[in-house]
Amino acid sequence: MVPSESVPGKSYTVMRDDRGRFSCTCPDYRFRRRECKHIKLVKKLLLAKRIERLKDSTIMRNPMIRWNSIEPREYQIRIAEAALDKNTLVVLPTALGKTMIAIYLTAHYLYNYPDRKVLVMAPTKPLTHQHRDSFLKFLRVKPDEVKVLTGEVKPEYRLYWWDSDSIKLYFATPQVVRNDLDLGLNLRNFSLLVFDEAHRARKNYAYTLVAEAYLRQSPCPVILGLTASPGADERKVREIAEKLSIEHVEYRSEFDDDVRPYIHEIETSYRVVDPPKSYGEYVKVLREMLNEQLAKLMRTGLIKKDPEYVFRRDLLELGDMLRFEVETTMLDEERGRMWDLVMAQSIALILYHAIDLLLSQGQYAFKSFLEKIVEERRKQSHRRLAKDPRFRELLERIKHEELEEHPKIPKLLEVIEDQLDRDPEGRILVFTQYRSSAKHIADVLKSNGYRAEIFVGHGRRGRRRGDKAPTMTQKQQLETLQRFRDGDLQILVATSIGEEGLDIPQCDLVVFYEPVPSEVRLIQRRGRTGRARAGRCVILAADKTLDMAYLVGAAKRAKRMRKVMEKISSSLRPVKRRIFPEPKPLGEEYLKEADRAYE
Q: How distant, in Å, are the alpha carbons of 48, 213, 230, 565, 566 from that of 237?
A: 36, 21, 6, 8, 11
Q: Confidence band (pLDDT; 50, 70, 90) for 571? A: confident
Is the pLDDT reported for residue 562 higher than 80?
Answer: no
> Cα separation of 255 and 434, whole Å?
33
* pLDDT for position 505: 61
> Cα separation of 121 and 578, whole Å?
24
* pLDDT for position 285: 94
pLDDT above 90 covers a percentage of the chain that reads 51
Average pLDDT for residues 160-189, to the nearest whole number?
A: 96
Please give the order of strands across the beta sheet that includes 491-494. Answer: 266-273, 535-542, 509-512, 428-431, 491-494, 452-455
HEC string of 282-314?
A: HHHHHHHHHHHHHHHHHHCCCCCCCHHHCCHHH
Do the beta carbons of residue 89 and residue 200 sit within 8 Å?
no
> Count of CB atoms within 10 A of residue 382's CB?
18
HEC string of 446-477?
A: HHCCCCEEEECCCCCCCCCCCCCCCCCCHHHH
HEC string of 249-262?
A: EEECCCCCCCCHHH
Is the pLDDT reported for residue 181 higher than 80?
Answer: yes
> Cα separation of 184 and 205, whole Å?
19
Average pLDDT for residues 159-188, to the nearest whole number?
A: 96
> Cα separation of 254 and 435, whole Å?
32
Among the ranges given (186-200, 303-317, 537-551, 570-584), the one the predictor scored with the smallest mean pLDDT: 303-317
Largest CA distance in the chain: 94
Q: Confidence band (pLDDT; 50, 70, 90) for 581? A: confident
State the average pLDDT for the chain: 88
How does pLDDT run across 272-325, given as a tens digit for each residue? 999 999 999 999 999 999 999 999 888 888 888 787 778 778 888 888 888 777
Helix (H) or strand (E) holding 326: helix 312-328
Q: Confidence band (pLDDT; 50, 70, 90) for 462? A: very low
* pLDDT for position 36: 85
Superfamily (CATH H level) for 63-247+572-598 = P-loop containing nucleotide triphosphate hydrolases (3.40.50.300)
Phi and psi at 539, nearest 5°, equal: -110, 120
Average pLDDT for residues 198-223, to the nearest whole number?
A: 95
Is the pLDDT reported for residue 19 higher than 80?
Answer: no
Do the beta carbons of residue 515 and residue 541 sit within 8 Å?
yes
Q: How distant, in Å, are the alpha carbons of 162, 167, 229, 359, 563 from that of 559?
A: 42, 43, 11, 29, 8
> Cα separation of 83 and 412, whole Å?
43
- Of 309 and 271, more confident: 271
Average pLDDT for residues 139-151, to the nearest whole number?
A: 95
> Cα separation of 3 and 182, whole Å?
66
List b or e across 484-509, with b for residues whose CB sees 16 or more CB atoms inside 10 angstroms: beeeebbbbbbbbbbbbbbebbbbbb
Q: Confidence band (pLDDT; 50, 70, 90) for 567? A: confident
> Cα separation of 583 and 109, whole Å?
9
Which residues have a Cβ under 8 Å from the Cβ of 539 and sit 6 or more positions away?
A: 268, 269, 270, 271, 511, 512, 515, 551
How does pLDDT run across 97-144, given as a tens digit for each residue? 899 999 999 999 999 999 999 999 999 888 899 899 999 999 999 999
Which residues have a Cβ under 8 Å from the Cβ of 464 and sit 6 or more positions away?
A: 372, 375, 376
For domain 277-400, the CATH class is mainly alpha
Is the pLDDT reported for residue 465 higher than 60?
Answer: no
Is the pLDDT reported for residue 47 higher than 90?
Answer: no
Domain ranges for the chain, please list them: 2-49, 63-247+572-598, 265-274+407-558, 277-400
Name the amino acid, one letter, at 526. R
> Count of CB atoms within 10 A of residue 166's CB?
9
pLDDT above 70 covers a percentage of the chain that reads 93
Name the architecture of domain 265-274+407-558: 3-Layer(aba) Sandwich (3.40)
CA 406 to chain centre: 27
Name the amino acid, one letter, at 496. S
3-state DSSP call for residue 568? helix
Q: How distant, in Å, are the alpha carbons of 35, 38, 381, 533, 538 from that of 266?
A: 13, 21, 44, 9, 10
- Of 399 and 465, more confident: 399
* pLDDT for position 460: 53
How does pLDDT run across 490-535, given as a tens digit for each residue? 999 998 776 555 566 668 899 999 998 776 677 777 777 766 677 8
Q: Do 63-247+572-598 and 265-274+407-558 fold alike per CATH?
A: yes
Do the beta carbons of residue 122 and residue 197 sit within 8 Å?
yes
